[in-house]
Chains A and B, each alone.
Chain A
Amino acid sequence: MGIEGIGARVARKEDKRFITGKGRYVDDMVVPGMKFAAFVRSPHAHAKINGIDTSAAEGMPGVIGILNGKQISEDGIGDLICGWMIHSKDGSPMNMGRWRPLAEDRVRYVGDAVAVVVADSKARARDAADAVVVDYEELPAVTGAVDALKDGAPQIHPEAENNLIFDWELGNGEETDEALKNAAHITEMKIVNNRLIPNAMETRAALGVYNAAEDHYTCWTTSQNPHVARLVMSAFYNVAPENKLRIIAPDVGGGFGSKIYIYPEEIVCLWASKRTGVPVKWVADRTEAFLADAHGRDHVTTVKLATDADHKVTGLKVDTVANLGAYMSLFSSATPTYLYASLLSGQYAFPAVHANVRTAYTNTAPVDAYRGAGRPEATYVVERIMETAARELGLSPAEFRRKNFVREFPHQTPVIMNYDTGDFDASLDAALKEADYEGFPARKAEAEKRGMKRGIGMSCYIEACGIAPSKAVGSLGAGVGLWESAEVRVNAVGTIEVLTGSHSHGQGHETTFAQLVSGRIGVPIDSISIVHGDTDKVQMGMGTYGSRSGAVGMSAIAKALDKVEAKAKKIAAHQLEADENDIVIEDGTLKVAGTDRSLAWNEVTLAAYTGHNLPDGMEPGLKEGAFYDPQNFTFPAGCYICEVEVDPETGRTEIIQFVAADDFGTIINPTIVEGQVHGGIAQGIGQAMLEGCLYDAESGQLVTASYQDYCMPRADDLPSFKVSTTETPCTSNPLGIKGCGEAGAIGSPPAFMNALTDAVGHNDLTMPATPQSVWAAINGTTPDAFA
């Protein structure tokens, strides 16, 4: 494998650039003649637009143009789309309302874009945008999904009667009902998965440049998947055909899902650049990020778990209402359906599972995938009810889970997924040991002497990564295939460029992808460059989300490397007069196995380009590409244990320890994996303890629209995590990789809430469990603002 190959703790190549402030983000891009956009946004949650008066704004200094929704329609720019078709259980297609890049006659959430001002400075654009007078006729608004589905709720889109987008189901309903009927015990819960605001460190941005001489567009944008953006913008939004549209996603400061989607702003910047004749840049301020980034989660669920007399689970029945906001974002329909209900079997051999999911339009920002996308919601349901059932049955939560674990693989669940491999006992054992689970009662007693309440809780999560086999997702309604592409270009001197469709925005691909190549060829990672994020350089790609870059993106690179190695071996065999099957590549040399005859890697690569001495009929050069379409999802799994101490006088919760034992299959770089787990757990604890997105139910105003009220996790909210891994390599991809990008955010909320409810002594708590709500839960007094 080499010292810089797979498994090595290599320091991240990209960090020098980031740490020294030399990253290049969209806002760093400057092009000649560039001007600035500011959006006029709706201050109302729901209103009719009776008119837009731009007369005052037009005369203001520096204003170049003010554009509105009528004009964008006149120019034939298409509706924003949702790329995954879901059918209701009655067979009807989902009820999708129209989403215009600039609202024409109605606004549907606070922050909905109505017009755009282009001016010669950011401040002047903002000043003029504030001077645009929109004549709104306010309409009643609804912000909660459950309320939106009630009779008489304000109607948001004419296409979706009663705001219902679809009523969908998955699993074996009859068997589940039967299990509930025959159960020895039924555990029932109402579970709210709180709405979150992603808060990537870099806000969204776009720079649109139209070149009239070539009738060509370039867009620098904060995207996790620039090729998908180009495809959608050209095939659906009619911005330009793909050959005339170049999308560049340079350094991107975090996405967590929120930068997968194609939003109105980047379309408007491109279009406005043509309309006004100048390059147009827009960078969201933090308030715009709060208002108009796609939010995450927001489910209300009732769940029933049936167990038999032997404490085996016989059925799980789930009924969920999910809030999709005012418009259907790109993957919004997949997140609460196939990415959610398909994980409801957890790590367990549940014979029957049934989920019913209804989704609703509301007067809130669009909701879409956010780190974990459906799997955190599923894990939260399964792991909260497993813990609760164990408590009700008087069983050890660990042993109750163990009793129901899947132990034979492959395992077909009742909800689509086929788990290829795993060892759930191994991660549970590792976590129990690391957490000194057995010693907990003594620690609890000691805390009690100090007047503190201690609790311990666990979560045994499983999730699905490496999304996904194209044929399978196509049959489930996806509008795209979910393969990945790669190209390996070897230079004459032996250095290597890898072009990949997997965008890197914090994950460390420039290091891990280079490690794969380094390990295979035996050249240092410093001589390997990873190229991504530019549709003019990389031919095609499906992008980075769902922890797919390792399992799918790297598998594509491995496939291209196979071809490169095969050709290099042929050249070496020819020159060394050996059989190509006897050539091995090791430590930067091509050797005839069992002999001392060899050629250096760069001798072979040079030969490929001089073409002086190649096998007859061989083309010169050394460059190969590959598309890799996965065979299955991958199934990272693990066990998280959280121990908390609650101060009953104030409700303040301190996390005493947090143990994560994960199985990610093959690990490329342990340091990067630990970083991903740390960040994921911080986000999960953020959801469970701190972060709550709240809209005012009457006015539809976003109450938590700044960091004064929306509480992000800080270092001092968190303990030092104890992370470790066990390894069962994935069987469905060549590298054995499962993926680690989201596990932390998936596994940690239920572990925290199970610990907290253990400390408090009852289940009457919702996320985020803020000090006031914990205090209220202990004292049974005040209402909780977030509940």
Chain B
Amino acid sequence: MYSTTYHRVSSVDEAVKLLGDCDEAALLSGGQTLLPTMKARLAAPSDLIDLGRIDALKGISVDGRSVKIGAGTTHAEIHASKEIAAVCPGLHEMTGVLGDPAVRHMGTLGGSLANNDPAADYPAAILALDATIHTSKREIEAGQFLVGLFETALEDDEIITAVSFEAPERSGYEKFRNPASRYAMCGVFVAKSAETVRVGVTGAGGDGAFRWEAAEEALAQRFEASALEGLSLDPSEMLGDLHGSPEYRANLVRVMAKRALAKA
């Protein structure tokens, strides 16, 4: 690890100000992505701004079907929330299969979204839930927020503060883990509202998470696994690596979608 200056802040405004003042500062949330990267000397921020003590970034509120989750809430806290489990079982499920217990108790919603790892779980969820990303500057629709691999719409001095969405009638998540990293080799989040069905896919797309629109249309007609029979994805648009070729991932998307549906 290179040397760095650590700052502890107690408000979002303070963090924003420091971001502007410092040379090459990085925000630190759960540290589950940033710290390993720094230890491997792949990141060398001049300053670390720890968001961990900002109360305003923490907590879950559920009002009827309206859900708002602070960016500093950990995966484990989301998973443990009875209200989330009641209104959005898919998100409850997802936060239970993300990483391992240590990661879930340290890593946060905001940190994960800001990182936009193409194999992270949340991107599938925010697309399917049609979520809104609240930042220190504005509100961003999920589809606009996720730009590409490890790329978001966030500006340099912008901090995610919360995520909100209307809980769907039914939701389900299924993930096929990369055997080594246990990140998503493919994760599919299915959400059904009164009029629409949305299917968010992570881990598989060549440009990061995406909505599988053909499946959404088919499921809007008939919300059952058989509606997916005959659908397929174009491998040329899929991610390929050591653990999963594009063809394999294209297959996994369909299989995981079927299984997410069975849980929804």
Contacts and interface: CB of A to CB of B under 8 A. Distances in A.
A709 B247 CA distance: 19
B17 interface: no
Interface stretch (B86-94, B212-220, B238-246): B238-246
B242 A711 contact: no
B242 A703 contact: yes
Interface in A627-658: 649-652
Nearest to B252: A650
B3 A123 contact: yes
Contact of B242 (A287, A782, A785): A785
B255 to A, nearest CB: 5
A690 interface: yes
A287 B40 contact: yes
Contact of B181 (A652, A690, A708, A785): A708
Contacts of A710: 180
A775 B181 contact: no
A704 B179 contact: no
Given A703-B242, A709-B242, A770-B243, A782 B248 contact: yes
Contacts of A781: 247
A695 to B, nearest CB: 12
Given A649-B255, A650-B252, A711-B180, A772 B3 contact: no
Chain A interface mostly helix, strand, loop or mixed?
Answer: loop
Interface in A748-784: 770-772, 775-776, 779, 781-783
A775 to B, nearest CB: 6
Given A123-B3, A708-B181, A772 B176 contact: no
Given A123-B3, A287-B40, A709 B181 contact: yes
Interface string A660-704: 000000000000000000000000000000100010000000011
B40 A772 contact: no
Given A707-B181, A708-B180, A772 B244 contact: yes
A782 B245 contact: yes
B175 to A, nearest CB: 11
Interface string A280-297: 000000010000000000
Given A649-B255, A709-B242, A123 B180 contact: no
B179 A690 contact: yes
Contacts of B248: 651, 772, 775-776, 782
Contacts of B179: 690, 711, 770-771
Interface residues of B, number: 19
A490 B121 CA distance: 63
Contacts, number: 54
A433 B179 CA distance: 32
Contacts of A704: 242
B251 interface: yes
B22 interface: no
Contacts of A779: 251
B1 A772 contact: no
Contacts of A785: 241-243, 245
Contacts of B41: 126, 130
B58 to A, nearest CB: 29
Given A650-B255, A770-B179, A123 B245 contact: no
B243 to A, nearest CB: 6
B180 A783 contact: no
Contacts of A650: 176, 251-252, 255
Interface in A127-145: 127, 130
Contacts of B3: 123
Given A123-B1, A287-B40, A650-B255, A772 B180 contact: no
A301 B180 CA distance: 27
A230 to B, nearest CB: 35
Interface string B223-254: 00000000000000000011111011001100
Contacts of A770: 179, 243
Contacts of B2: 123, 127
Contacts of A772: 243-245, 248
Contacts of B241: 785
A515 B33 CA distance: 48
Nearest to A651: B248
For the complex of A and B, 8 pairs with smallest distance between CB atoms: A711-B180, A782-B245, A649-B255, A708-B181, A772-B248, A785-B242, A782-B247, A711-B179
Interface of B: 1-3, 40-41, 176, 179-181, 241-245, 247-248, 251-252, 255
Given A650-B176, A650-B252, 13 more contacts: A123-B1, A127-B2, A650-B251, A650-B255, A690-B180, A694-B242, A708-B181, A711-B179, A711-B180, A770-B179, A770-B243, A772-B245, A775-B251
10 contacts: A287-B40, A649-B251, A703-B242, A708-B180, A709-B242, A775-B248, A775-B251, A779-B251, A781-B247, A786-B242
